Amino acid sequence: MTSRAISWVDVFSPTPLGGNALAVVHGADALGEDTMARFARWTNLSETTYLLEPTVPEADYRVRIFTPGGELPFAGHPTLGTAAAWLALGGRPAGEDVVQECEVGLVPLRRRGDELAFAAPPLLRYEPVAEPELLDRVARCLRLDPSALLDVSWLDNGPGWIGVRVADAATVLGLRADWSAMAGLKLGVVGAHPAGAECDVEVRAFVGDWVVEDPVTGSLNAGLARWLTDNGWAPEAYVAAQGTVLGRTGRVHARREADTIWIGGHVSPVVRGTVEL
């Protein structure tokens, strides 16, 4: 057992404790994969990350991302939270941007005031869900009539998201998902707020395998931003609310610049200390 620095941060909320929690273990190069997985199950957070030395000169650090159910090649709120924790403990990027190495490749992050934003990696699968059986299952999972699903698309940038667009934010907030039907699916639902509202869209993320509903989700919002802006359903810069029904104040800032999607938000430090692993 070795003492290692650990940071617990709150991601995607302007109000501390209103976003999505993340545990970041620093100096984790000597940790085995089994230990990483067991500690992630123990924290029982949606994700726990491990900071390691990069394997390529272009990267400032490398990260491994674990849910209680296993390792992910990429995830959004862990990307922002890990970068913030690395910077807070003295990390200095080689260039103007922070460059993270993870399983999907190199992910640039930029600092704008008190926010961080990551450049969304390419979608691995981006196409309409066409299989009638899967569409019916999505509707059952969300307890909606199939006609309420305006559009359904694969938005997979690692975790395997399916995006679902519904009529409005009120429909999103009123969902009562059927968890028993959802095993193996990761569904992200989006609906527009009325013009003039604080936020442009409302988002919820349903994960049948480990956390049931994720409070605020960077990877999902990255895929949604690509989808919504490609189809003209959202402007090139907008704000998504997420976590409302869970008592959170998640705010995700999405911005499209040419063909790059930037996903950003606040990251607040909450706990800093050591862990024996």
- 47 counts as catalytic: yes
Ramachandran angles phi, psi of 174, nearest 5°: -90, 0
Q: Which of 33, 47, 53, 101 is catalytic?
A: 47
Which positions are catalytic?
A: 47
